[in-house]
Amino acid sequence: MPLDVSRPEITQTLTRGVCRFLSAGGISPLREFKLASRRRADVAGLDRDGRFTIVEIKSSAADFQADGKWPDYLPHADFFYFAVDAAFPLALLPADQGVLIADGFGAALHRAADERPVNGNRRRHQLLRFARQAARQLDGEVDCRI
């Protein structure tokens, strides 16, 4: 079993900033989005044209170096980004992927992601998965307030 090198407090902070950034750009985010591949994207966003953005949060260089699963997200994303904090050594990240520099208040685009359209059949199934997960989360929020 690999050593857990993630830093949950930093991951949570970066995730909040990424979600704010996506929302401000017209992309509806979901945290911990479960993909059909059984992977779980840190943040997945859906824009008004039905395109998916997936953001992989990296809390440290060690977290990135220990993670070999991020390429598994690519078939599920029209746009793929890494989100890191300002102190992260950017040279470690693949040059062909998008990069966001994030903090708890938002994020800034460091490098835009190339669009790689998701397969049509996968998109349809993923749209349903996204809608169902969003509905479950909303139901949980409403249920907690009653």
pLDDT tens, position by position, 96-142: 999 999 999 999 999 999 999 999 999 999 999 999 999 998 887 65
pTM of structure:
0.90
> The domain containing residue 105 runs over which residues?
8-145
Res. 1: pLDDT tops 70: no
Question: Would you say residue 80 lies in a domain?
Answer: yes
- Whether residue 98 contacts residue 74, with contact meaning beta carbons closer than 8 Å, is answered with no
- Whether residue 27 contacts residue 53, with contact meaning beta carbons closer than 8 Å, is answered with yes
Question: Would you say residue 2 lies in a domain?
Answer: no
Among residues 33, 57, 59, which one has the least CA distance to residue 44?
33
CATH number at residue 14: 3.40.1350
Number of domains in the chain: 1
Question: Would you say residue 38 lies in a domain?
Answer: yes
Question: Would you say residue 3 lies in a domain?
Answer: no
Question: Would you say residue 40 lies in a domain?
Answer: yes
Mean of the per-residue pLDDT values of the chain: 92
Q: How many whole angstroms from its chain centre is CA 12?
A: 12
Question: Would you say residue 105 lies in a domain?
Answer: yes
